[in-house]
A and B are shown apart, each in its own frame.
Chain A
Amino acid sequence: MMEKVYFRPAGIFDGTVTGFCPGCMHSSVCKIVCEALDELGQLDNACYVQGVGCCGLAVTYLNMDTVAAPHGRACAIASSFKRCSPETLVFTYQGDGDLAAIGLAETMSAANRGENFTVIFVNNGIYGMTGGQMAPTTLLGAKTTTTPYGRNEAEHGSPMHMCELINQLDAPAYIARVTCADVPNARKAKAAVRKAFQYQLEGRGFSFVEFVSNCPTNWGMSPLESLDHVHNVILKEFPLGEFRAK
């Protein structure tokens, strides 16, 4: 008799096809999140606050309670939602434009208040859905549709490091940067997500997991090339690791 060793995680709708581009790590992040929730027995008790941008594509994909947020406001909405429903496991699912640009105030303020929910932050260094504009996390020199001559420090500033920024605050309980650009890192990523959720279940406060992700479409690379780019270039700017686990 054959044993089924690989299956679609519970929490992802049967039969749906992801709206994410081929090779985009958003799919893997969704899968990791669902597996972590499933392992913690929290799939049925979860509610996620959906950001705007590519992260919003997850809505057709994730079979769990959902509150859609205006662009950048996920952390404000998750704050009030969680305080009104402390028994529900709450996480936001946001990209870098959403979380670090238009939603920077909401992100930092929720972190500073130590709100007891989890942020899943997918950082691909670009605005994906709108066609590849510069994000706060775009690397210096990178050409985007709004930095056609490359991002330069004098005009655009340097990439923003959200884990490091949040790590300046007193309240946050758990801060980690991970990636699923390779299998060993994907395993570590899942452990980090589990840990973040566990922190929330224990009422320890704000937990933040940043995924260094890719955008083959807007980077103009094949999926494999984009993974190499993550390893060779992006991770030098955005080093992985656990910044805080208090």
Chain B
Amino acid sequence: MAEKIFMKGCEAVAETAVRAGCRFFAGYPITPQNDVPEYFARRMPQVNGVFIQGESEVASANMAYGAAAAGVRSMTSSSSCGISLKSEAISWMAGANLPVVIANFQRGGPGIGTIQPAQQDYNQATKASGNGGFRMLVLSPSTLQEAVDMTWRAFELADKYSKPVMLLMDGFTGTMMEPVVLPEPLGEEQVAAIRASKTWAARGRHGGPQHKVMCGPGLDTRISQAQMNERDAELYESWKQTEVEYEEYMTEDAEIVVTAYGITGRIAKSAVGMLRAEGVKAGLIRPLKVYPFPEQAFEKLDFARLRGIVCAEMSIPAQYAEDVRNVVRGRTGIVTALSSGGEVLDRAQILEAARSLMK
């Protein structure tokens, strides 16, 4: 087994991206994700990749779009209000079918918010990261090893569907350190082969037909906006079968289910362990992707046995809990354990919420 390395989340993500063949990164300074662009600035020249510090979040995201249009595995990252600025380009990536990985190290909000960790961008990430009703696969790791594995997967998924993919991190998973085992890097030949396989990428005609990287039909009358959107709608629908990913832990006999994603997911998991130690039959549902939402995980529950569900997230008002509520549709009670404004959710809040359901 490869050596475990003690790494910071931002750097683990950036290094994994490089190993996954990412050869373009553009970013803009914003706390708490500054270690990402700084890492790429050091690392890209070593692999003949390109790093650009954009003049803005807007420009950085569009640069990632431009590199993807050239067929290169491309990435940009930011934090919350910075992601809002990137939403123009993200929407264009979806419209132009460009594979780009976007990482959001969430901080407080709305607006500039606090620089401390939060999970206030759930709705933005899963429902509307830009105009036009597009959807993205959204991966959200709880541990840094998951962040590494998901970064690798994000590039594969982006290429598989030729769509932007979001890595929904937070200031916590970005700045904390934890041992990780990194994947073996792709060889330069493999990186080149991935680029060459993107026959749609612009590169000059060179005797062949024109390559057009366009967002939507534009002025092309051969395909309508409706036809393009129907094709995407079918794709999004298929994800509900093929791309749902979640962890179930001790749900078989659970009377209480705690559910949470990202950093809160691991805190929730340990709370489940503590509840079990107290004799409470608690279980966990933890989405690994928050889009598509893991409806199946909740449909499988034995609602007759269940005393209730605890939704834990670092967002006030609750956002993830709304999706849970929409799936559960009143079949059991739902309580929330919430924090915001840079306060990391404490396990005690989850325990308290769970105990309230046992009364």
Contact = CB atoms under 8 A, between A and B. Distances in A.
Whether the complex brings A and B within 8 Å at their CB atoms is answered yes
Interface of A: 19, 43-47, 49, 56-57, 59-60, 63-70, 73, 76-81, 83-85, 88-89, 105-106, 108-109
4 closest A-B pairs by beta carbon, nearest first, are A77-B66, A109-B55, A80-B66, A80-B63
Contacts of B219: 19, 56-57, 59-60
Contacts of A109: 54-55, 59
B207 A44 contact: yes
B91 to A, nearest CB: 8
A79 B66 contact: yes
Given A44-B205, A80-B64, A63 B213 contact: no
B96 interface: yes
Contact of A85 (B70, B92, B212): B70
A44 B50 contact: no
Contacts of B213: 66-68
Interface in B56-75: 56, 58-60, 62-67, 69-72, 74
Given A59-B219, A76-B54, A88 B203 contact: yes
B88 interface: yes
Contacts of B211: 47, 65-66
Interface in B121-172: none
A76 B202 contact: no
Nearest to A68: B214
B121 to A, nearest CB: 21
Given A57-B219, A85-B70, A105-B55, A65 B202 contact: yes
Contact of B92 (A70, A80, A83): A70
A67 B218 CA distance: 12
Interface string B13-27: 000000000011010
Contact of B67 (A60, A70, A81): A81
A81 B70 contact: yes
Interface of B: 23-24, 26, 50, 52, 54-56, 58-60, 62-67, 69-72, 74, 88-89, 92, 96, 202-207, 210-215, 218-220
B69 A67 contact: yes
A46 B67 CA distance: 16
Q: Indicate the member of B67, B70, B215 with the most A CB atoms within 10 Å.
A: B70
A44 B204 contact: yes
A84 B50 contact: yes
Nearest to A60: B219
Nearest to B51: A83
22 contacts: A43-B205, A44-B204, A44-B207, A56-B218, A64-B204, A65-B204, A65-B211, A66-B212, A66-B214, A68-B92, A68-B214, A69-B62, A73-B59, A73-B62, A78-B66, A79-B52, A79-B66, A81-B67, A83-B52, A84-B24, A84-B66, A106-B62
